[in-house]
């Protein structure tokens, strides 16, 4: 019979076991990489979807703020003295022309979306009362038919000065909204 060299056989078995362990380790690394890559792609899809949802939530508020800024800047640049000097009332600015018609409705929606945004938009609605009073005073002066050589220009200057903090607050609100949307992209 043949003799078995146990040392050689045990070395051979150990070598086969080491190869099996190495193959198993390589297989585990490949599976883990595949799992991690799949997880990363799922996370990327979720991040893009979350960013899209957040942008859709922010869009009405951002549009409102941008429309309001644009409107107030146009009114600030407009020659109100010339408009109010027309005795027939055409082209006169009304107190309701300062904010978009849907402003209050969107502000109410902001209460459930974001308290900070709501407080900023509500502050704008409160601050706009001063320019509204000035517009009403300009209408009163223009209707009275009194000489308006000094009063209307003074009121226009007051009106423009009253719009500055409102436009500044709206710009900071817009920047805050934009930074929230971009914070998700990182």
Domain ranges of the chain: 59-183
Judge whether 109 and 60 are in contact, CB under 8 Å: yes
Cβ neighbours for 122, distance < 8 A, ≥ 6 positions apart: 107
Judge whether 68 and 99 are in contact, CB under 8 Å: yes
Judge whether 152 and 141 are in contact, CB under 8 Å: yes
What 3-state DSSP class applies to 94?
coil
Residue segments in the chain with a per-residue pLDDT below the cut of 70: 1-2, 87-91, 146-149, 181-186
Angstrom distance (rounded) from CA 118 to CA 124 = 10
Report residue 81 as tokens. 């003295």
* Range 116-121 contact pairs with CB under 8 angstroms and sequence separation of 24 or more: 116/176, 117/61, 117/173, 117/176, 117/177, 120/169, 120/172, 120/173, 120/176, 121/61, 121/64, 121/65, 121/173
pLDDT computed for residue 39 by the predictor: 85
pLDDT computed for residue 152 by the predictor: 85
pLDDT computed for residue 90 by the predictor: 66
Angstrom distance (rounded) from CA 8 to CA 149 = 116
Angstrom distance (rounded) from CA 180 to CA 65 = 15
Nearest to 159 by CA among 141, 184, 183: 141
């Amino acid at each position: 019979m043949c003799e078995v060299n146990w040392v050689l056989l045990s070395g051979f078995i150990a070598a086969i076991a080491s190869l099996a362990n190495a193959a198993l380790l390589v297989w585990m690394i490949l599976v883990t990489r595949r799992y991690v890559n799949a997880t990363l792609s799922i996370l990327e899809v979720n991040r893009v979807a979350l960013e899209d949802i957040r942008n859709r939530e922010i869009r009405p508020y951002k549009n409102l703020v941008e429309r309001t800024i644009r409107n107030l800047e146009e009114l600030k640049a407009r020659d109100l003295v010339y408009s109010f000097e027309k005795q027939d009332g055409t082209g006169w600015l009304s107190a309701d022309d300062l904010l978009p018609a849907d402003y209050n409705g969107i502000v109410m929606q902001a209460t459930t979306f974001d308290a900070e945004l709501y407080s900023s938009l509500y502050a704008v609605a409160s601050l706009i009362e001063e320019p509204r009073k000035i517009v009403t005073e300009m209408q009163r002066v223009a209707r009275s038919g009194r000489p308006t050589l000094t009063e209307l220009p003074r009121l226009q200057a007051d009106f423009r000065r009253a719009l500055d903090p409102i436009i500044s607050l709206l710009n900071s609100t817009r920047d805050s909204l934009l930074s929230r949307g971009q914070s998700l992209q990182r």
